[in-house]
Structure formats: C-alpha cells, structure tokens
C-alpha cells in the first residue's frame, strides 16, 4: 500500500519509476489475465518498446511468460499474450474466521491451486493451537505442490482488530485474543523465511470484492461483513481505509440507538452490530438462545420467504437498523457501491425494501444518485481471496525485490 | 487531487516524473517557506544536482527565487534559500459562508496579501447577486495589486454540497440554492480566463487545517465545522475524502437518535446536526427563538462558564451528542486528530468533558490510543485559506503548465 502518503513529500527517481512500471504491468496481468503488449501499452499509457522491456524483466524473473493464445478467434498470426506464471508463482493465504480455519495456495493471477479447511470451535482456542493447525495445512499443501513451485508471500485474514505492521491481533473478541503475536508466530511456524501480512477479515473482504468481485472498477465502495458481529471494509479512492493505526472501518460500533439499544459486546448499547447482528435477528424472530450461526440466520430468512410472520417482522426490524447504518455510511463516504457479505448477504436479500426505504429517507439526494447496493460476488471466499491479494500486494509493490527473497517450497 | 487512482493503472514516463518533482519541490516551498537546496534534497530524497535543475526551471518560470537569507544566525557564508514569489504569484480566494462573503488575494507561500469582507443577509440572495459582490471585491483588490502581479488560480468555499468538476452548487440550504452554476458564473464574471475551483466549506476547512493549521503532519484527520448545521471534512491518508461525486463527509446527517430525535432540515429527525447544531444548543439553554448566530452560541458558552445552570445543562446535553458523533467517526476512521471548527470550537471548549466521556465509553480501545482532540488553529479563516489552497493545488499539480496560462491582472 504505497501511494499518496509517499507521493506528497518525496521526489521520484528512475529506479522508483521502473519499479512502479514493473508493478503496474504485473498488476494488470495478475488482475486482468493474459493480455497482449499492444493492449497493455494502451492501458498503461506507455509505448510498446517500454512494455517490451518491462515484460522482458518480468519474464526473466520467472513471474510471467509470453505465449500464443490458445484460441484467439481471429484470422492470421495471433499476437503473443503475457500470462502470469500461475502454476508456479504462488502465495499462501489463511483465513481465521468465526467458524472455520482455511488455508490455500493461490497462484499469481488469482487461481486457487489448493485449499484445505478445518472446523474450529467457537471459543477456547489459543494462539499456539490455531497457528499449529494452519501451519500443518500449509505443509500438506506444499508437499503436494509442483517441484518448481515458488512461494512469494503469505497473507492471513483474521476476525478481529489487527496491527498491520506486524500482524498483532490487538483485539479478537470471538477467540478471546488480546495482543497476540499472530503474524509473527505464524511466520515462525511456517519456517519459509517470509513475513506474514495479516488483515482484518472485513478489510480483506472489501479488498477482494474491489479487485475480483462485485466492486471491480468502483473506486469508492463499502463492504459490510456480518458474522456474529458486523465488520466493515471501506475503499476510498481505490485504497483501503486503514486510518492511523490500521483500525479504521469499525462500522459495527457505530452508535445508532444510544438510549434504547440492545447491549453490545463492546460494553456499550445500541451499536449497529447489537441491532443487526446474528443475535439481534434470532432474538427478534423468537428463536431460542441455543440457536446460532449462519445456518440459523439462513433459516430465518427462508422462513420469512415462506410467510413466517415472526421471521418477516424480525427481518423488517433488522432491515430498518441496517438501513440506518447504510444511510449514515453513504452520507459519509458518497460511495459508488455498498456490498453485503457474510451473513449480511442473506439479511440484506430478505430486507432490501427496508434498507432502501431508510436510504430514501436519510441519504442526501446528491449522494443517492448513483450508489448501487449489491451482495458479495465472492461469498464465503471473499476474506480468503483478500488474504491472498494482501500477500500479492507486496510482490506488486516491487516485483523484482520480492522475487529475490522467494522460497522454493516444492523440494 | 491526483494520486492513487491514477497510479494504480497507468505507467510513468519521464515527463510525469519531472512534473511530479517540480510540483513536489514547489509544494515544499509553498507550505514550508524558504528552504535551502540541501534541506530540500534531504526531504525529497533527491540528489543536489536534481534539486538545482528543478529550482532553475521554477526560477525561470518566475515561481520562486533564490536569495541570501535575511539572518541565517550562522557564521560564515550562508547557503542560498529558495523562496516563493509570494508578492507576485497569487490566487484569488472566496468564501461564501452563512453570515458573510469574503474575498482575498493570497500569495504563493500562503501570505494573505489583501482581504475584503461583505456582510450577507441570511436568505434571499440569488446567484447573480452573490457573484456580483464577489467579482466587485476581486476587482477592487486587483486594481491595487502590484503591476507585475500574476493570478495563477481561483478557489472558492461554499456552505453547501458542491460538484467538484465544475463548481455547481448541488444543494445549498442556507441560501436556498439547488443546482446553481456558481463556479462557472463566478469565472465568467471575473473575466480572468481562469477556471474556478469550488469546494464545500468544511472540506476546505479540513484541507486548511491539514496544510497550515492544527493538523499539519497528521495524515488522517477529521475536521468538524459548525454553523447553523454541522459539516465535516475528512483527510484519509493525506487526501481529502470526496467520494464518487465529491459529496462525502456529510457528518451532519449521521442519524444518531432515530426515534426521539429533533427534526432536521433534511426532512428526517435525529441527525447529528439536529442534536448539536446552533438551534439545538439555543433551545436547550431556553434561549428565545429569535436569537441566532455565532454570538448567541458564544453567549451560552460564556454563561455556562459563569455558572448559568440552563446554559451548563444545555452544553452537557449537546456535548453528549457531539461525543456520540465523534466516537462514531473515530471508530470509522481511526484518525490521529479531530479538530473542532466554526461554532463547534466554542461548543467543544464548553463540553470537552462530555465528549471525552462518550469517547471512553464508545470508542474501541485501540482506536482511542493516540487520537488527539483539538480546536481549529485557523479559526474563521480556515475556509478561506482552504479555498486558496484548493486554487494552489492546481498549480502544484503541474507548475509549468499552470504558469503558461496565467493572467496578469495588475495592468
């Protein structure tokens, strides 16, 4: 995540320009797939000889290759396309979610090469245990990888507040973690000599939807992620909003009902997540307290669809609060899109009318003009894909430097 | 406002690098004042010969000059310093606020060279009338400027929602304007052949505090501006948050009291500005409905300081709502600083305890660690200075190009 911060004060020299151009070309290939030099020249605003030189560098580093497209659909000699070395160059991505642990090997270009799940109990899981499971899943995948495979980065999504600099979990209420050195410990246990980039799950869900999901091309978007609570990831002018310490986007603790609100896990009452979270919906629908989790939420939405009055009333109530949260966010961010992910995907689909009603009442007209509401395109994989993209972002910031510290894991 | 958006997809060529470096050097001189080549080389991460070449270009364009510092305080031959041509190179800045119209001539480097005020009635003022007054103030100033003065840009602050592309006032409740072509019309009436950049007053207040006020060096900050309502300007990673259409930062319409709230000018009830705006405070303090404006607010804060019970109770109540708004914003943006400007300067000073109490109760601990609360350092001038900086930002984006279309106004 380079960018404006750096750009404001420092000058540019040739090496930085080259690094920027190499990273930009690789990003086009990584996100857009195989592409000809001519198209790249056009998209990047550079001439063809510059594109050729950049491609040659990336090819000799083993990050891309040039080849004849399988089926160009055109008559005559087809143009070569530049293609990411997806089978060989990969990252490891992990997802520590409320109800599961996932590990994946994801190739340059975004192909999921391998993926392993483990169920995790909702409580009583310590750092050592979680990191042990993830490292074992990674070892299994690496053993079965192609012998010439090269791991260029590691990213992890975690359901809590993360210090980006070192992947410290500052506050992870679902696992009961406070100040646990997750990133460092996972890096140590993997033993690949690579740093581990860790991000909050909703932040990474936003990143994934922005780069590969419902929000491609939308420079300002809000991703809302529901599980037990409500998280948010917000893209502002093409960059994830992280704030001073990396703890921004905490939409779940926006106070919307200060005096009559439901108690919230944070100790306050009337936070958005207290009003629209899993428990709020299940309680409103008179479901027994022992019911919990995604399936229970789905069951309420389905019951409402079949005419269950308690379920319909519950969805209307929750949808109104969700609409208030969404309206506040649209007034603040004037986004092009709001994306509902995790459990909120189902909740939104069951209460879209209430959400839109609140928007009509509470969003200023000029900010309502063009905003779209969408459900997550990546579904449950959004956070894992976001973790992979976080790992790749290091490579894209400086492709040759990143490649020089790669680790071959297949031998 | 170039930046990340552009950087993501396009490559860089030499001309862009040169433009970036010229703009960055000029920005250092504009914001930091006279500076030696050696210090610039250090700050910009460039070598001295590059700095020398860039300085030569800016000197020959007449934007800066090199000279012996007046009093270097050191023994021996002093280093030359690069200084902005503040007396000659200037912008015109305008401020259309709730209670006044202001015009100023501001020199490169931020020196206010001249400044004229006109009182404006609170209602019944149409576009033609306002633009006429502003243009006349500008003509007066330009007549008295140095003969070799050069105007390089025009910026205006307006108390409403602005379309940045052309300075259209989309919604200006205080003047009752909807879709009024303010920027275009002001440009036409000035007759300088320069485009007019227009911004929302709170956005520009944020920009001014970030570049020259309480928030210098704070990459993530929130500026809250109170007059009749409450506006916001939010700097995210060193850039003003504008959103898709330029209408972001509408903190005043954050719904915080949906079911028992006071009616808001937007048609809803319980918006932040309905709970903490001028009217809310005056009503809470039992002031008669005919009292209004900044002086009335100041009087309540002063009365509370002298032990007036109704005034103290009113400030406590308003401070609690202000604290809820601030807490929500800190959870969302994880800023390094929150700055209270306009009328909210006085309100915050009179209710800081309530604001801090809400923060303690509602801001997540990790986001509370380092955030500072401050009052505006620029006071009533914040919006005008922001308008000047908006105009200068065009020059800084491409100094030589901007200079090539300047207009000499002194002859």
What are chain A's domains?
A: 4-84 (1.10.10.10), 89-204+382-408 (3.30.420.40), 215-377 (3.30.420.40)
From B23's Cα to the closest Cα of chain A, the distance in A is: 9
DSSP string for residues in A204-253: HHHHHHHHHSTTTT-SSEEEEEESSSEEEEEEETTEE--TTTS----GGG
Interface A:B, Cβ pairs < 8 A? 231
**Phi, psi (rounded to 5 degrees) for A290:** -80, -15
Please write the tens of the pLDDT for every residue from B182-240. 999 999 999 999 999 999 999 999 999 999 999 999 999 999 999 889 999 999 999 99
From B410's Cα to the closest Cα of chain A, the distance in A is: 33
Taking only residues 3 to 32 of chain A, the set having a beta carbon closer than 8 angstroms to any beta carbon of chain B reads 3-5, 7-14, 17, 20-21, 24-25, 27-28
Give which of B334, B354, B358 to mutate to test A binding, by max A Cβ within 10 Å.
Answer: B334
Cross-strand partners of A162: A169
Q: Is B179 helix (H, G, I), strand (E, B) or coil?
A: strand
Residue in the structure block whose two tokens are 């590990």: A103
Q: How far apart are CA B222 and CA B236, in angstroms?
A: 9
Give which of B331, B364, B369, B399 to mutate to test A binding, by max A Cβ within 10 Å.
Answer: B331
Q: Is A130 helix (H, G, I), strand (E, B) or coil?
A: helix
Q: Outline where B266-381 has alpha helix (H).
A: 272-276, 278-284, 294-305, 309-333, 343-362, 365-368
Please write the tens of the pLDDT for every residue from B134-165. 999 999 999 999 999 999 999 999 999 999 99
Print pLDDT tens along chain A (411 aa). 223 333 457 888 888 899 999 999 999 999 999 999 999 999 999 999 999 999 999 999 999 999 988 765 666 777 899 999 999 999 999 999 988 899 999 999 999 999 999 987 666 689 999 999 999 999 999 999 999 999 999 999 999 999 999 999 999 988 889 999 999 999 999 999 999 999 999 999 999 999 999 999 999 999 999 988 999 999 999 999 999 999 999 999 999 999 889 999 888 999 999 999 999 999 999 999 999 888 999 999 999 999 999 999 999 999 999 999 999 999 999 999 999 999 999 999 999 999 999 999 999 999 998 999 999 999 999 999 999 999 999 899 999 887 776 544 443
B365 chain-A contacts, CB cut-off 8 A? 171
B50 chain-A contacts, CB cut-off 8 A? 11, 13
Residues 6+ away with beta carbon under 8 Å from B48: B37, B38, B41
Least CB–CB distance from A10: residue in B45, B266, B333: B45
Predicted-complex ipTM score: 0.93
Inter-chain CB proximity B17 and A21 less than 8 Å: no
DSSP string for residues in B181-203: -HHHHHHHHHTSS--EEEEEHHH
Please write the tens of the pLDDT for every residue from A12-57. 888 889 999 999 999 999 999 999 999 999 999 999 999 999 999 9
A254 chain-B contacts, CB cut-off 8 A? 328, 331-332
Give which of B1, B2, B12 to mutate to test A binding, by max A Cβ within 10 Å.
Answer: B12
For residue B178, give the chain A residue with the closest CA. Answer: A366
Residue A116: Cβ-neighbour burial (10 angstroms; 0-12, 13-18, 19+): middle
Residue B263 in contact with partner chain A when CB distance is under 8 A: no
Q: Which of A297, A285, A251, A286 is nearest to A271 (CA)?
A: A251
Inter-chain CB proximity A5 and B250 less than 8 Å: no
Q: How far apart are CA B27 and CA B374, in angstroms?
A: 25
Q: Output the six-digit token pair for B82.
A: 């690069």
Is the four-CA dihedral B374, B377, B379, B384 of positive or negative sign?
negative
Inter-chain CB proximity B238 and A5 less than 8 Å: yes
């Amino acid at each position: 995540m380079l960018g404006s911060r750096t750009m404001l004060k420092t000058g540019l020299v040739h090496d930085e320009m080259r690094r920027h151009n190499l990273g930009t070309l690789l990003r086009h290939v990584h996100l857009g797939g195989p592409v000809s030099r001519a198209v790249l020249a056009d998209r990047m605003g550079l001439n063809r000889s510059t594109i050729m030189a950049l491609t040659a560098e990336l090819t000799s580093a083993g990050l891309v290759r040039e080849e004849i497209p399988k089926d160009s659909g055109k008559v005559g000699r087809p143009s070569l396309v530049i293609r990411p070395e997806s089978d060989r160059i990969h990252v490891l991505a992990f997802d520590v979610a409320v109800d599961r642990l996932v590990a994946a090997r994801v190739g340059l270009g975004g192909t999921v090469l391998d993926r392993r799940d483990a169920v995790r109990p909702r409580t009583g899981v310590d750092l050592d245990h979680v990191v042990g499971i993830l490292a074992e899943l990674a070892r299994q995948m690496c053993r079965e990888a192609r012998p010439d495979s090269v791991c260029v980065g590691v990213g992890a999504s975690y359901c809590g507040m993360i210090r980006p600099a070192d992947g410290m979990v500052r506050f992870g209420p679902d696992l009961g973690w406070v100040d646990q050195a997750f990133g460092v410990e996972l890096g140590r246990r993997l033993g690949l000599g690579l740093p581990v980039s860790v991000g909050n799950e909703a932040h990474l869900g936003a990143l994934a939807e922005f780069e590969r999901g419902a929000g491609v091309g939308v420079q300002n978007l809000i991703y809302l992620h529901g599980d037990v609570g409500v998280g948010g990831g917000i893209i502002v002018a093409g960059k994830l909003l992280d704030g001073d310490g990396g703890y921004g986007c905490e939409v779940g603790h926006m106070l919307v009902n200060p005096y009559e609100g439901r108690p919230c896990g944070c100790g306050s009452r009337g936070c958005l997540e207290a009003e629209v979270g899993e428990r709020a919906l299940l309680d409103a629908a008179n479901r027994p307290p022992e019911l919990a989790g995604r399936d229970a939420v789905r069951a309420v939405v389905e019951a409402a669809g079949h005419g269950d009055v308690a379920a319909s009333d519950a969805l209307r109530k929750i949808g109104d609060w969700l609409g208030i949260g969404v309206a506040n966010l649209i007034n603040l961010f004037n986004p092009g899109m709001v994306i509902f992910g995790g459990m909120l995907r189902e909740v939104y689909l069951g209460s879209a009318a209430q959400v839109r009603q609140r928007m009509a009442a509470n969003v200023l007209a000029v900010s309502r003009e063009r905003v779209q509401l969408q459900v997550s395109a990546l579904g449950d994989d959004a956070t894992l894909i976001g973790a992979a993209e976080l790992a790749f972002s290091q490579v894209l910031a400086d492709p040759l430097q990143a490649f020089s510290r790669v680790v071959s894991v297949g031998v």
